[in-house]
A and B are shown apart, each in its own frame.
Chain A
Amino acid sequence: MVAETGHFALILALLVALVQATVPLIGAQRRDAALMAVAGPAAIVQFLLAAAAFFALMYCYVTSDFSVLNVAQNSYSNKPLFYKITGVWGDHEGSMLLWELILTGYAAAVALFGGKLPQGLRTRALAVQSMVSFSFLLFILLTSNPFLRLVPAPLNGQGLNPLLEDPGLAFHPPILYLGYVGFSMAFSFAIAALIEGKVDAAWAHWIRPWSLAAWCFLTLGITGGSWWAYYTLGWGGWWYWDPTENASFMPWLAGTALLHAATVVEKRGTMKAWTVLLAIITFSLSLLGTFLVRSGVLTSVHSFATDPQRGVYILTLLGVVIGGSLALFGLRAPSLKSGALFAPVSREGGLLFGNVFLSAALGTVLLGTLYPLFADALNLGKVSVGPPFFNATFVPIMIPVCIAMPVGALLAWKRGNLQLALKRLLPAFLVAAALAVCVALLMAGQGRFITAAAAVALAAWILVGMLTGLAQQIHFREVPFKTSLQRLLKLPRTFHGMTVAHIGMACVILGITGSTLGRVQNIQIMHIGDTVHISGFDVTLKKVRDDIKGPGYTFSRGTFDVSSHGKPVTVMYPEKKHFTVPPEDTTHAAIRTTLLGDLYVVLAGHDAKGGYITRIYYDPFVVWIFLGGGLFAAGGLLSITDRRHRVGAPQRNNEAAPERKTS
Chain B
Amino acid sequence: MKRFIPLFVFLALAGFFYWRIVLIDKGDMPNDIPSVMIDKPAPAFNLPNLYEGKPAFASSGLKGHVTLLNFFASWCVDCRIEHPFLSQLKGHGAVLAGVDYEDKNADGQAWLEKHGNPYDTVVTDKDGRTAINFGLYGVPETYIIDKQGIIRYKQTGPMTPDVIAKTILPLVERLAK
Contact = CB atoms under 8 A, between A and B. Distances in A.
A284 interface: yes
A326 interface: yes
Interface in B41-71: none
Nearest to A237: B80
A384 B7 contact: no
Contacts of B18: 312, 315
B11 interface: yes
B37 to A, nearest CB: 15
A377 B156 contact: no
Most chain A beta-carbon neighbours within 10 Å: one of B6, B13, B80: B6
B76 interface: yes
B24 A296 contact: yes
Given A281-B6, A301-B81, A382 B30 contact: yes
Interface stretch (A17-25, A140-148, A329-337): A329-337
Chain B's interface size range is 35 or more
A297 B139 contact: no
A319 B18 CA distance: 10
A487 to B, nearest CB: 43
Interface residues of A, number: 48
A399 interface: no
A384 B139 contact: yes
Contacts of B11: 323
A386 B10 contact: no
Contacts of A360: none
Contacts of A296: 24, 29-30
A326 B10 contact: yes
Given A326-B6, A384-B139, A377 B77 contact: no
A438 to B, nearest CB: 28
B138 A384 contact: yes
Contacts of A327: 4, 7
Interface in A490-543: 521, 523
Interface string A215-256: 000000000000000000001000011100000000000000
Given A297-B20, A326-B6, A374-B16, A523 B114 contact: yes
A595 B11 CA distance: 48
Contacts of A242: 77
B61 to A, nearest CB: 26
B75 A381 contact: no
A404 interface: no
Contacts of B81: 301
Nearest to A312: B21
B156 A382 contact: yes
Contacts of A370: 13, 16
A471 B113 CA distance: 49
A416 to B, nearest CB: 29
Contacts of B137: 381-382
A323 B10 contact: yes
Interface string B105-120: 0000000011110000
B163 interface: no
A570 interface: no
Given A296-B24, A330-B3, A384-B77, A521 B13 contact: no
Contacts of A373: 16-17, 20, 30
A370 B3 CA distance: 24
Contacts of A281: 6
Contacts of A334: 3
B173 interface: no
Contacts of A604: 116
Given A382-B137, A386-B76, A308 B25 contact: yes
Contacts of B30: 296-299, 372-373, 376, 382
A230 to B, nearest CB: 15
Contacts of B77: 240-242, 384, 386-387
Interface string A357-374: 000000000000010111
A537 B148 CA distance: 52
Contacts of B7: 323, 326-327, 329-330
B157 A299 contact: yes
A280 B6 CA distance: 10
B21 A295 contact: yes
A311 interface: yes
A382 B3 contact: no
B75 A386 contact: yes
Given A384-B138, A386-B76, A387-B77, A297 B31 contact: no
A306 B27 CA distance: 12
A333 B3 CA distance: 7
Given A297-B20, A326-B10, A613 B138 contact: no
Contacts of A311: 17, 21, 24
Nearest to A326: B7
B6 A277 contact: yes
A613 B114 CA distance: 12
Contact of B138 (A277, A295, A374, A382): A382
Interface in B105-163: 113-116, 137-139, 156-157
Interface string B86-104: 0000000000000000000
Across chains A and B, which 6 residue pairs bring their CB atoms closest together, nearest first?
A: A330-B4, A326-B7, A386-B77, A308-B25, A333-B3, A311-B21
Interface of A: 235, 240-242, 273, 277, 280-281, 284, 291, 295-299, 301, 306, 308, 311-312, 315, 318-319, 322-323, 326-327, 329-330, 333-334, 370, 372-374, 376-377, 381-384, 386-388, 521, 523, 604, 613
13 contacts: A240-B80, A273-B3, A299-B30, A299-B31, A306-B24, A327-B4, A327-B7, A373-B16, A377-B19, A382-B157, A383-B138, A386-B75, A387-B75
Given A295-B24, A323-B10, 12 more contacts: A240-B77, A273-B3, A297-B24, A306-B24, A322-B10, A323-B7, A323-B11, A330-B7, A382-B30, A382-B33, A384-B76, A388-B75
